[in-house]
Amino acid sequence: MTMELTDIRQPQASAEVDWTVLTDPQVEGVVRAVARGFSRDYGLTLEYDDAYQETVLIAAERAPYVRQLLADAGPGLVHRWLSQRLRDRWLTEAKHRSTHVSYEATRRAAEGSDR
């Protein structure tokens, strides 16, 4: 068995969003699986419904690319690609949020240093 690697160029998100990509049962199944997995692994960052909406948006923004991946390599590659795009969007934001200190913590620290 030989494996052929193809160079698939990833397009940028277009101004037009193609929601019809979600009518494909394979794409819809992959979107749900990605959202479930992300909400399970990163539940403190993003809940299932939000992860689902973000994944749907990513797929619709790049519908021709999703269709090309599905045709060339199947749903497994679509799953991996969508998972990576969702992580790119949300984990960076989560890292920034984790460095923020709450108002209450800042206030307690300030009150403790005044004494």
Mean of the per-residue pLDDT values for the chain?
83
Task: Tally Cβ neighbours within 10 Å of residue 55.
Answer: 23
Least reliable range by pLDDT among 9-13, 37-41, 96-100: 9-13
Nearest to 51 by CA among 67, 65, 40, 64: 40
Alpha helices in the chain (DSSP H): 25-41, 48-61, 63-73, 75-98, 103-114
Which residue's structure tokens are 């690319």? 65
The mean pLDDT value for 73-77 works out to 94
Q: Which residues fall within 8 angstroms of residue 44, CB to CB, at 6 or more apart?
A: none
The mean pLDDT value for 30-41 works out to 94
